[in-house]
Amino acid sequence: MFKWNPVDESDSVWSQLNELFTKLKGEGVTAMSYHATPPFYSQVSKHSSVTHFGYPEEIVSTYLDPEFMESDPIPDFVMAAGHVMTWQQVIADQKLTEKHRKFVNKAKELGFIDGVAVPLFGPQSRNSYFSMNFGKNISSEDEKVVRPLVGIAQSCHRRVCAIINQADDSTRALSKRESEVLYWISRGKSNGEMATILAISEDTVDSYVRRLFKKFNVHDRISAVIVGLSSSHIKLL
């Protein structure tokens, strides 16, 4: 039986999700994704931060394009349904728009077969969409394998919520430049890319990133983005 110890100050969102993926890989999961979204927003909106493990870079970069991600018909449908479904079930159970059909066709081109779509529920409406890929079509025979993995993912999500709550307690107001840096981190930009976009030096960007970590009481970029989203510090530019 998998078990997590209580959250402590050294924990980060990244470390929790990485530990989760390590555990799931041992049970046949080839890739996973986790959507961290502020309460009441769409799981595929620009307000959502998506963390991937195990997917090729081509798939990740394609999916993280905002226009492409927003056409994903699976996350919001599963969150509304409130229970675990396979990707194929989700697609079959709804009337797809033209935009949705283009997404499904492109996903097939990229090699997607099937997976498990999971709604994760947390305190204060901190709910997230979670997805597991096994590299094959999922059948009812896989239920005995999938069910405990969903429980593990739910436990991890509760820990992520606890980490966010701890960070929220120490969150302070951000300057305009800090907000800009946080926004571009959320869009997956490197320090070098942000330096070019903001017309400042890379060392200055690094200083802003470190300042954000300190203000949010986090240790990695993913945690900073998720805390920024949850506390409404990330503004759409």
Report which DSSP code applies to 123. G
Mean pLDDT value of segment 10-25: 87
Boundaries of CATH 1.10.10.10 in the chain?
172-216
d(CA 161, CA 37): 11
Residue 125, SS3 per DSSP: helix
Give the mean pLDDT of the chain.
Answer: 87
Q: Which residues pair with 116 in a beta bridge?
A: 86, 132
pLDDT in tens, 76-132: 999 999 999 999 999 999 999 999 999 999 999 998 999 999 999 998 888 999 999
d(CA 159, CA 218): 14
Q: Is 210 exposed, middle or buried (0-12, 13-18, 19+ CB in 10 A)?
A: exposed
pLDDT in tens, 48-69: 888 999 999 899 989 988 889 9
d(CA 34, CA 43): 10
Q: Return the CATH superfamily for domain 13-169.
A: Transcription factor LuxR-like, autoinducer-binding domain (3.30.450.80)
CA 85 to chain centre: 18
Element containing residue 23 per DSSP (H, E): helix 13-25
d(CA 29, CA 27): 6
Mean pLDDT value of segment 197-204: 94
Boundaries of CATH 3.30.450.80 in the chain?
13-169
Report which DSSP code applies to 34. E
Q: What CATH class does 172-216 carry?
A: mainly alpha
What is the pLDDT, as a whole number, of residue 49? 84
The DSSP secondary structure of 129-167, one letter per residue, reads EEEEE-SS---GGGHHHHHHHHHHHHHHHHHHHHHHHHH
d(CA 130, CA 2): 18
This prediction has a pTM of: 0.76
Q: Which residues pair with 51 in a beta bridge?
A: 34
* pLDDT exceeds 70 at position 167: no
